[in-house]
Amino acid sequence: MTVLGSSNTSAPATHKKITGHVGFSNLPNQIQCKSFQDGFQLAVMVLGESGLDKTTLINTLFDSRICVPREPLHPAADWPKMVAIENIQANIEENGVRLCLTVVDTPGFGNFVDNSKSLKQIGIEFMQKLHHRVNLIPVVAKADTMTNEDIVDFKVRILSDLEIHGINIFQAPIYEDDNNDDESILETEEIVHAIPFVIVRSSNTVQTCDRCMVHGHAYPWGVVKVDNPTHCNFGKLQQLLIYMNMEELHEHTNNMFFEVWQSEQLLAMGITQDLTCVIHKAKLVKIAIAMKEVFPEKVELQEKKLKQLKVELYAQHKEIKDVLNRQCEDLLKKKAQLKSGSPDASMS
C-alpha cells in the first residue's frame, strides 16, 4: 500500500499511541524468531605484530578454541617478511543462539606499535585507508608489562595520533531514552572512555590466593586476572564487540561503509546515481563532518579524564609508598630493639 501526498511540503510527523491491535508491536518477536532460525554473522580482522598473542585474544573473547596457536619461532629465526591473509571460520552456539564467526588473521604484518609508545607509520597508513571501510577498535596488548603511568600516557598518545592523522574509530552510541536506565548509560560511557582498550591476554587458568581458578597470569607478587576491570579493559572490549554493540557494528557497516563503497564503484564505472543516492551521499558527508567536529571534543574530554586519573594514581602510589616506608622504619626500630635486648621490643 502506498500513500502519496498532494503537497510538495511535508507536514511534521504526528505521534500517536494506538489503543487497539494492528500487529506491528509483534515485530520484535518476528526478528527474534528469524534470528534464532538464521543465526548471526560476525567478521573480525586482527592486526598487530607477531608475538602479541592475537590468537589467544580471539580464543579468550569467544571462550572457544577458534584459532590454533602457531608454533613459536626459534629465537635465532627470522620473522616472516611477507604478510599473509588467513580466513578462519567457526560456527559457535550460546544458549541456542548460533553465530557464524569469521576471523581474518594477518600473520607477518609489520610492527603496529613500537617501543616509543606511538603508532608506527605502517599502522597509520593502513588505518587511514581502512577506517572508512570497517569499524576500527584500537587495542593495546600486554597491559601486564606496563605501569599504570605508562598506560595512561600510552592512551593519550594513541588518541592524539589518531586525531592528528584523521583516523576515525568506532564510537559506541549512547541512547538516552526511557528504555535505558542511568546505570546502562554510565556503563556505556565507561566503555567509550576506556578506548583504546588495554588488555591482558591469556587462555590459561591459574589459581588465586582464595583457590579460585581464573584466566590470567601468575606472578611472584600475585595474579593478573583477564576479567578483572582493575587489571585491564578486556571485559569492556568484550562488552563493546559482542554483548552490547554487535548489531550496531553490523548496521554501521551496511548503512555507512557499504553504501559509500557502492557509490564509489558505480561512479568509477561511469554510472550516474539517481537523486536518492546523491541525497544519501550528501547525508553521509554531513555525518562525517559532524563526526570530525565532535571527535576533538571527545578527545579533549578523554585527555582531561586521563590526566585526572594520572594524578589520582600518583597520589595512591605516593600514599602506598609512604605507608611502606613507615612500616619499614618501624620494623628497623624493632629489629634494633631486639638486638639491644630492649624490654619494649620483647613486650611488643
Phi, psi of 89 (to 5 degrees): -115, 140
Q: Is 3 a member of any domain?
A: no
Q: Count of domains in the chain?
A: 1
Q: Is 189 a member of any domain?
A: yes
Q: Is 57 a member of any domain?
A: no
Residue 176 near residue 188 (C-beta atoms within 8 A): no
Q: Can you give the pLDDT at residue 3?
A: 43
pLDDT tens string 12-42: 677 777 777 777 777 777 877 777 777 888 8
8, pLDDT greater than 60: no
Residue 135, Cβ neighbours under 10 Å: how many? 20
Containing structural domain, residue 215: 111-318
Calpha distance 336→344 (Å, rounded): 11
Calpha distance 180→162 (Å, rounded): 30
Q: Can you give the pLDDT at residue 7?
A: 44
Q: Are strands 97-105 and 40-46 parallel, antiparallel or unpaired?
A: parallel
Q: Is 43 a member of any domain?
A: no
Convert 307-345 to b/e letters by CB count within 10 Å (16 or more is b): eeebeeeeeeeeeeeeeeeeeeeeeeeeeebeeeeeeee
What DSSP assignment string belongs to 189-228? HHHHHTPSEE------EEE-TTS-EEEEEEETTEEEETT-
Amino acid at 344: D
Residue 157, Cβ neighbours under 10 Å: how many? 16
Over pLDDT 90: what percentage of the chain? 2
Look at the block and give the residue holding cell 538464521.
Answer: 38
DSSP helix/strand/coil, 24:
helix
pLDDT tens string 109-120: 654 444 455 667
Q: Is 223 a member of any domain?
A: yes
Of 16-25, 130-139, 159-168, 314-323, minimum mean pLDDT range:
16-25
Q: Is 126 a member of any domain?
A: yes
1, pLDDT greater than 60: no
What mean pLDDT value characterizes the chain? 77
The CA-to-CA distance between both ends of the chain, in Å, stands at: 91
Residue 164 near residue 177 (C-beta atoms within 8 A): no
* Selection from 9-13, 100-104, 106-110 with the highest mean pLDDT: 100-104
226, pLDDT greater than 60: yes
Averaged pLDDT for residues 220-228:
82
Q: Which residues pair with 90 in a beta bridge?
A: 101
- In sequence order, the 6+-apart residues with CB closer than 8 A to the CB of 258 are none
pLDDT tens string 233-290: 988 999 988 888 888 888 888 877 877 777 777 777 776 655 555 556 666 666 666 6
Of 197-206, 253-262, 264-273, 325-334, minimum mean pLDDT range:
264-273
Question: Residue 160 maps to which CATH number?
Answer: 3.40.50.300
Residue 58 near residue 66 (C-beta atoms within 8 A): yes
Q: Is 133 a member of any domain?
A: yes
| Residue 139 in grid coordinates | 587495542
What DSSP assignment string belongs to 221-267? TEEEETT-TTT-SHHHHHIIIIIITHHHHHHHIIIIIIHHHHHHHHH
Q: Is 18 a member of any domain?
A: no
